[in-house]
Every structure is written in structure tokens, then in C-alpha cells.
């Protein structure tokens, strides 16, 4: 079963061909980074125009790279939520047109849930054995950390995520991007901050940035305090409290230390909530059998290490995508659509683009 997936929810135009929901035959991503760099953030109107120009060439590229013709496609999938509405509409319209003209099923996929599925994909047929990843993963704890979303889920199947908590302000990736901008790093900030924090000699204890806990049992996240602390560490505290000493000059060494200290606190917040979620589930008599992770920030070198450590401490197999599939891509859309199709959950041409996530 071959599924063509489309993804246009934010600033990546992507298409992929996935076989049997697991094997990635092609995954093509056209990033719009250069288009939005001068604004240090995604400009929705520019994004949707770029999607409209690129979507068909990208689909053609994905088919060519997979070595399949349109006639061989069994279903067309699209990330139809959540995202920028103008951007989503381009992908949804293109997917509808393709599905209708081919007479094949159309499958809408929640982009955030698809991030959790990315770790189940493989490029090598040997890794897609039916018993490789399956029901033995569930119930699972899921963590999505991206530029737009930061959420914890409990899943009893790939298609049944229940949200346990989410950020009450900034998403984790958004906090990385803003902290990077404060440090004067080029857009997109997350990967650049990661690189700076990984430089030899970076002192992650130079600044004791706050790790948000919220309520004692809360599984929500908050990153805006951490971001503001970075602002104050660089520019000083504004207003009436500003009688104190000026912040140290922003030397190359100080920037590196601030990046490492920020990254340490941000990762600690994510790990803390995972530990808490496992404990809260235990009190309900639920024992997770795997930790599923995904989203752009799971590309972060430190977070990857810490996720491996917390999963090992808790005796949970860690399902984490390779770096290329952490960030937005269409393979995860086509993959999760395979699960939907298998369970008879295809959509029809009334499928809508929706700015919010399903759960």
C-alpha cells in the first residue's frame, strides 16, 4: 500500500511516499527559512504563497525520488491540522484534487500526532517487520516538542492520543528560537543555539535559569519565564529593579555559557514532566510500555541524550525519530495515514483545514 503524503502546515512544503505505513520511499522537504529569516519568524501570507508555488513540484519530486507514478498511489494523505490556516489550505486543496482525480481515498492527519509517529518510520525494509513496533508499545507516553506545540500524551494506540498536558505559554522550540534571537544568533535559532551550547568549554552552570514546575501534579509546561530570564541575563532587568549591577558584557564566552545554561534548563523542564507523568500514571495503575517522542526540538543534541537517559531510568523503550524526521516532513503524515487507512478511517472531500489540534 503506497501513500502519498503532503505537509504544508507552517513553513515547510513537503511530500513523501510511504509504503505500508512504515517504509519511507521518499521524503522531500522545501524549507522556506530564507524567506522568513529577515523577520525572525514565519510570515503567514508569505508562507502560503510559497506553498502554492512549490506544492506540485515537490509532489513530483517525491514521486520521482520514490520511483513511482501517480497511478501506483493507493491513497493521498495531508496534514490538515493544526497550523497556519492559509498554509494548511494549500496542502488540503492539493491533496483533495489529487485524491479526487485519482479516485483514491483522502486521509487527513493531525500534524502534532504525526510527530509522535515519525519514530516508527524506517528507510530500511528490514526495520519494518510487523513485530518491530506494534501493540506492545501501548499504553505509551508521548512527548511532542516543536516550534508550535509542546504536549504530553497518553496513547493506547497510534490513533488514540489523549493529551495529559501542554504548554500554557511558549512552545519549547519557540523559546529556543526567541532565546537564540536574544543572543544574536541567526534564524532559525534552535539548531544554532544547540551548536553554540555544544562548543567545547561551554559552562551550563554559568546561569541558574529557572525550570518551571507549575502545580505539584501539573503536566503542563511553561517556557516564557525561562525566555524572560534569558532576556534579563543579556540586557539586565528593566524598570524600577534596574538599580542593580549591569549584566556582564556579551562576550563570545558568555553567549556560549548562556546558550548551554538555557539548554540545560529547557531540557530539565521536559524531563521533569516525563518523570512526573510516569508517576501520575502509576498512581492510576497505568504502566507505560514505551516513550514516544517527536517534533523539531527532539533534534536537539542534549534533549536526545536526556530522553535516552530518562527512558532507561524508567525501563521504557525510547521511540525517537532520526534528526531528519524530527522536524516537519510529510513522511510522518503518510505513515500515520497508513494506520488510519488500516483502521478504516479515511476522510472524504469535505475534509477541512483546521488551525487547532484535534486533542
Footprint of ligand KG4 on this chain (CB under 6 A)? 10, 146-148, 173-174, 176-177, 188-191, 194, 295-297, 299-300, 327-328
26 binds Zn ion (CB under 5 A): no
Nearer Cβ to ligand KG4 (120/280): 120
- Residue 170 site contact among Zn ion, ligand KG4, none (CB < 5 to 8 Å, cut-off depends on kind): none
- Residue 188 site contact among Zn ion, ligand KG4, none (CB < 5 to 8 Å, cut-off depends on kind): ligand KG4
174 binds Zn ion (CB under 5 A): no
110 binds Zn ion (CB under 5 A): no
Place of cell 518491530: 132
Residue 141 pairs in a beta bridge with 154, 291
Do residues 84 and 9 make contact, with C-beta atoms less than 8 angstroms apart? yes
Nearer Cβ to ligand KG4 (128/263): 263
The distance of closest approach from Cβ of residue 194 to ligand KG4 in the complex, given in angstroms and rounded to an integer, is 4
Place of cell 525519530: 321
Cell of 84: 497556519
**Coil vs helix vs strand at 171:** coil
146 binds Zn ion (CB under 5 A): yes
Nearer Cβ to ligand KG4 (225/248): 225
Nearer Cβ to Zn ion (154/328): 328
Cell of 129: 517487520
Nearer Cβ to ligand KG4 (204/328): 328
- Residue 11 site contact among ligand KG4, Zn ion, none (CB < 5 to 8 Å, cut-off depends on kind): none
Q: Which stretch binds Zn ion (CB under 5 A): 23-31, 67-75, 128-136, 322-330?
A: 322-330
- Residue 142 site contact among ligand KG4, Zn ion, none (CB < 5 to 8 Å, cut-off depends on kind): none
Total number of residues that touch Zn ion (CB under 5 A)? 2
194 binds Zn ion (CB under 5 A): no
* Angle (nearest 5°) at CA 19 between 149 and 144: 15
Proportion of the chain in helix, strand, coil states, percent, rounded to 5: 45, 20, 35
By DSSP bridging, strand 140-145 and strand 290-294 are parallel
Nearer Cβ to ligand KG4 (6/299): 299
Q: Which residues of 62-93 are buried (b: 16+ CB within 10 A; e: fewer)?
A: bbeebebeeeebebbbbbbbbbbebbbbbbbb
Residue 34 CB-density burial (10 A; 0-12 exposed, 13-18 middle, 19+ buried): exposed
Which residue, 7, 149, 175, 174, is CA-closest to 92?
Answer: 7
Which residue in the set 11, 12, 177, 328 belongs to the binding site for Zn ion (CB under 5 A)? 328
- Residue 299 site contact among Zn ion, ligand KG4, none (CB < 5 to 8 Å, cut-off depends on kind): ligand KG4
Phi (first) and psi of residue 142, to 5 degrees: -120, 140
The distance of closest approach from Cβ of residue 32 to ligand KG4 in the complex, given in angstroms and rounded to an integer, is 12
* Angle (nearest 5°) at CA 172 between 252 and 188: 50
87 binds Zn ion (CB under 5 A): no
Nearer Cβ to Zn ion (146/357): 146
Q: Which residues bind Zn ion (CB under 5 A)?
A: 146, 328
Amino acid at each position: 500500500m503506497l501513500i502519498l503524503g503532503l505537509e504544508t502546515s507552517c513553513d515547510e512544503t513537503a511530500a513523501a511516499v510511504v509504503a505500508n505505513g512504515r517504509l519511507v520511499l521518499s521524503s522531500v522537504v522545501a524549507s522556506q527559512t530564507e524567506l522568513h529569516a529577515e523577520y525572525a519568524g514565519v510570515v503567514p501570507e508569505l508562507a502560503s504563497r510559497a506553498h502554492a508555488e512549490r506544492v506540485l513540484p515537490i509532489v513530483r519530486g517525491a514521486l520521482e525520488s520514490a520511483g513511482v507514478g501517480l497511478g501506483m498511489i493507493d491513497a493521498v494523505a495531508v496534514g490538515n491540522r493544526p497550523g497556519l490556516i492559509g498554509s494548511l489550505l494549500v496542502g488540503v486543496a492539493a491533496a483533495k484534487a489529487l485524491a479526487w482525480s485519482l479516485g483514491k481515498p483522502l486521509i487527513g492527519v493531525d500534524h502534532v500526532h504525526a510527530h509522535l509517529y515519525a519514530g516508527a518510520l524506517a528507510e530500511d525494509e528490514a526495520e519494518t517487520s510487523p513485530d518491530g513496533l506494534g501493540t506492545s508499545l501501548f499504553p505509551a507516553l508521548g512527548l511532542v516538542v516543536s516550534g508550535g506545540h509542546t504536549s504530553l500524551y497518553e496513547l493506547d494506540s497510534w490513533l488514540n492520543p489523549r493529551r495529559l498536558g501542554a504548554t500554557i505559554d511558549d512552545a519549547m522550540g519557540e523559546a529556543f528560537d526567541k532565546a537564540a534571537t536574544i543572543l544574536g544568533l541567526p534564524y532559525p535559532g534552535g539548531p544554532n543555539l544547540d551548536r553554540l551550547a555544544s562548543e567545547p568549554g561551554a559552562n551550563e552552570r554559568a546561569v541558574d535559569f529557572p525550570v518551571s514546575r507549575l502545580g505539584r501534579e501539573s503536566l503542563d509546561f511553561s517556557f516564557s519565564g525561562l525566555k524572560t530570564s534569558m532576556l534579563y541575563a543579556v540586557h539586565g532587568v528593566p524598570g524600577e529593579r534596574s538599580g542593580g549591577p549591569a549584566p556582564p558584557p556579551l562576550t563570545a564566552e558568555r553567549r556560549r555559557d548562556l546558550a548551554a545554561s538555557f539548554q540545560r534548563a529547557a531540557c530539565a523542564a521536559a524531563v521533569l514532566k516525563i518523570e512526573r507523568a510516569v508517576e501520575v500514571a502509576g498512581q492510576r495503575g497505568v504502566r507505560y510500555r514505551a516513550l514516544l517522542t517527536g517534533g523539531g526540538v527532539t533534534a536537539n543534541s542534549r534533549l536526545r541524550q536526556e530522553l535516552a537517559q530518562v527512558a532507561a531510568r524508567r525501563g521504557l523503550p525510547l521511540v525517537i525519530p532520526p534528526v531528519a524526521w524530527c522536524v516537519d516532513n510529510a513522511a510522518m503524515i503518510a505513515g500515520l495515514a497508513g494506520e488510519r487507512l488500516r483502521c478504516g478511517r479515511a476522510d472524504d472531500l469535505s475534509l477541512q483545514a483546521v488551525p487547532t489540534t484535534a486533542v
